[in-house]
Structure 1
């Protein structure tokens, strides 16, 4: 057809779209998606370009919603798999493995994500794009952080920071430093984490989402340091900035704030927030936070050890061993303070078991 658009033209436009997604140029990304959808209606038949589009659209949705639909993502990857397998295009193979890894990462399957990222890493030479390499390093560092591989995580994140700074992708730099601060916080270097986050907060003033995640990390760091009043203030700032619309970060922060208020013996407000957080966590299918909310409910509201144990089991069943270790360790401290030493030892063993599982070979 004389009016048809060559697939190469649409492919180039998809590459431009993906570059905008990496740079978090949200308005431009939205405009390009509309333009590309219109071009696809007139494009000559190309399963390969349709596969590119499907993969990049998944990444676009992830940027826009800060979450993903597991079933939709599984279906999309299943549909493009035969096209990728039959293609000799190394760049398409890279996209397939990298975005498959991001899908696993968003489902909290970190070892699976790392295995897929490693496959993508072997194809990075075909990418020839500094921003994409930085994006890869950012996600690999993020996944390694979630399985306590702190040295490797920091190495990937540092590489990402160098490139993002050179490209002046300020918001991406903030995201990287936020995770770096998390590494210090998890290893009990709270002062260093706070220094990084306070500087990060200054740079985040013009980036609403970045400011929210930095404030939340500041709250988490203060909570770990047992400075509960400061943690409470940061969490309240997060919820104020998010507003009343349902959002995954709001659900997570309501759990964090409820946990803090229980520590401060503000039981009535904590219980109300816990119910809100649980409802919203169910809405977004946040398995980790649903389980965590039930653990708080079992501990502070219902005095139900079975509910606590069932929820810990759910975390481990979904391979959320980092989360299970952290909360089991906190349960051990709680019961030690209550002079219930048998329970304290039980949950110390749970924490140790989860830590060992984090270091197992293999994938989820």
Structure 2
């Protein structure tokens, strides 16, 4: 006879596993997942435990994807009407569904899920889990250009993570807050936050490299392309960054900084790696960005530029459209093509107007 493990004991072990995931404790999380899998294989049918397991497994896969680029393609497989699901599990379902939409760049859909999760947040009795909710809700609002809403959530997350001594997560909040200051035309404040965070984040190579990348983006926004180049190259020196989706993004950023300095040959090398990375990670934004660079800096083909902008429009990425259109307008003007320059300035202006509108459908 096979010895079965009681569902409540498996549930407790899943809670322990979940705590390791929230705290980004990679190795203990991997070990606990194996232990839970062994125990759950002998458990009698229990819909509630299986629903909980499925949700936590998805969050585990998100954590693992940071360390193993070959495990970056994952999906959430759970029906919303899971039987006997209690309020905590219902919260977790909406939250994890929102995370799934976020990592697949469906930001408007993600914010809907987070809204539903927030209505059930009172059933969460774990500060770290609450802080993670604030972090992701801040992130998705940041991507939707709702900067004041994003900063409110991000500051709440930062306070809790700091109190819990979750340094890596605290720094992640600071990176986003710095980005918000940059988008609100206060890059000096953003840079100060990043430089302060850099001093204490060296033990955490993942966030340390993200700070370097953020500093590069800060300098690039000021058109200080030589300083941006230095920061991007420093970030790519770290394997923990280079061999991830963020590394592919940084290669794109570096190629763009190099093209803008006239370092065409070196820029082309990094661009090719960025293009491969964007395809590998199925990243819609950076696939479009690579097409844009190909049209603007490599082939002098503005049809590719237009196609890139159209791809971003389909994803609702208005800020990104404005950013690229402004660059296309600048390059066109420098080349003496005032007609094209005016066209892209109008596109940038319209995108800036749209980026501050969420729409009623996002508050369902």
TM-score tier after normalising by the smaller chain length: over 0.9
Q: Report the counterpart of residue 279 of structure 1 in structure 2.
A: 276
- SS of 2:5's equivalent? coil
Q: Report runs of 4+ in structure 1 exceeding 6 Å deviation.
A: 67-71
Instruction: Report the alpha carbon displacement of residue 107 of structure 1 after superposing the two structures with TM.
Output: 1.3
Q: Report the counterpart of residue 174 of structure 1 in structure 2.
A: 171
Q: Report the counterpart of residue 318 of structure 1 in structure 2.
A: 315
How many residue pairs get aligned? The number is 359
Match for residue 75 of structure 2 among 60, 73, 76? 73
- Does the 8 Å CA contact 2:141/2:150 hold for their aligned counterparts? yes
| TM-score when normalising by structure 2 | 0.94
Q: Report the counterpart of residue 106 of structure 2 in structure 1.
A: 109
Match for residue 125 of structure 2 among 128, 133, 137? 128
- Does the 8 Å CA contact 1:298/1:304 hold for their aligned counterparts? yes
Q: How does 1:1-364 map to 2 (within 5 A)?
A: 3-66=3-66, 72-74=74-76, 76-77=77-78, 80-83=79-82, 86-242=83-239, 246-358=243-355, 359-361=357-359, 362-363=361-362
Instruction: Report the alpha carbon displacement of residue 335 of structure 1 after superposing the two structures with TM.
Output: 2.0
Query: C-alpha distance in 2, partners of 1:126/1:285?
Result: 35
- SS of 1:3's equivalent? coil
Query: C-alpha distance in 1, partners of 2:277/2:73?
Result: 19
Instruction: Report the alpha carbon displacement of residue 230 of structure 1 after superposing the two structures with TM.
Output: 1.0
- SS of 2:81's equivalent? helix
CA 1:225 to 1:4, structure 2 compared with 1: closer, same or farther past 3 Å?
A: same
Query: C-alpha distance in 2, partners of 1:221/1:245?
Result: 19
Instruction: Report the alpha carbon displacement of residue 137 of structure 1 after superposing the two structures with TM.
Output: 0.5
CA 1:122 to 1:363, structure 2 compared with 1: closer, same or farther past 3 Å?
A: closer
| TM-score when normalising by structure 1 | 0.94
- Does the 8 Å CA contact 1:70/1:107 hold for their aligned counterparts? no
Query: C-alpha distance in 1, partners of 2:126/2:298?
Result: 52
Give unpaired runs (5+ residues) of structure 2.
none
Higher relative helix content: 1
Instruction: Report the alpha carbon displacement of residue 356 of structure 1 after superposing the two structures with TM.
Output: 3.7
Give unpaired runs (5+ residues) of structure 1.
none
- Does the 8 Å CA contact 1:61/1:68 hold for their aligned counterparts? no
* RMSD between aligned residues: 2.0
Instruction: Report the alpha carbon displacement of residue 288 of structure 1 after superposing the two structures with TM.
Output: 0.8
Query: C-alpha distance in 2, partners of 1:284/1:321?
Result: 22
Instruction: Report the alpha carbon displacement of residue 334 of structure 1 after superposing the two structures with TM.
Output: 2.4
Instruction: Report the alpha carbon displacement of residue 70 of structure 1 after superposing the two structures with TM.
Output: 9.1
- Does the 8 Å CA contact 1:325/1:350 hold for their aligned counterparts? yes
